[in-house]
């Protein structure tokens, strides 16, 4: 069974540009969450999508957005990049149906560097 796939693995962008990151969840998983990991702030929740709807959102500015497609694949977009957006962005997939099996399975992440 394939795991969570994130593309690209590495990205270098210039301040002011925008970027789109992609995440393909485990087959059959309908929930996709995104996290930002930095040395200073640790792992922080960005948002979670289920069946193409955003169900939860973290405390990030509106420059961070996402969407989910009908095949459960998800993208996140960051506009007007700032140096502080440099981070490892992790995507996690879950079954999404609630109950006891709510564990998240993470991808390897996309390392974004803003210069």
Site residues, other proteins (CB under 8 A): 4, 6, 31, 33, 35, 42-43, 45, 48, 50, 55-56, 58, 90, 92, 94, 96, 98-100, 102-109
Q: How far apart are CA 45 and CA 60, in angstroms?
A: 9
CB 42, CB 94: distance < 8 Å: no
Q: Nearest distance from residue 103's CB to other proteins, in Å?
A: 5
Which residue's entry shows tokens 């969407």?
67
Closer Cβ to other proteins, 22 or 79, answer by number: 22
Burial class (CB in 10 A: 0-12, 13-18, 19+), 12: exposed
Q: Nearest distance from residue 20's CB to other proteins, in Å?
A: 19
Closer Cβ to other proteins, 25 or 114, answer by number: 25
């Amino acid at each position: 069974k394939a795991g969570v796939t994130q593309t690209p693995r590495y990205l270098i962008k210039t301040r002011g540009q925008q970027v789109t990151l992609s995440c393909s969840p485990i087959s059959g998983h309908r929930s996709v969450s995104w996290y930002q990991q930095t040395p200073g702030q640790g792992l922080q929740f960005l948002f979670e999508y289920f069946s193409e709807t955003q169900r939860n959102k973290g405390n990030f500015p509106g420059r961070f957005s996402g969407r989910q497609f009908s095949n459960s694949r998800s993208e996140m977009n960051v506009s007007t990049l700032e140096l502080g957006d440099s981070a490892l962005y992790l995507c996690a997939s879950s079954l999404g149906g609630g109950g006891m099996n709510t564990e998240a399975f993470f991808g390897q992440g996309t390392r974004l560097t803003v210069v």
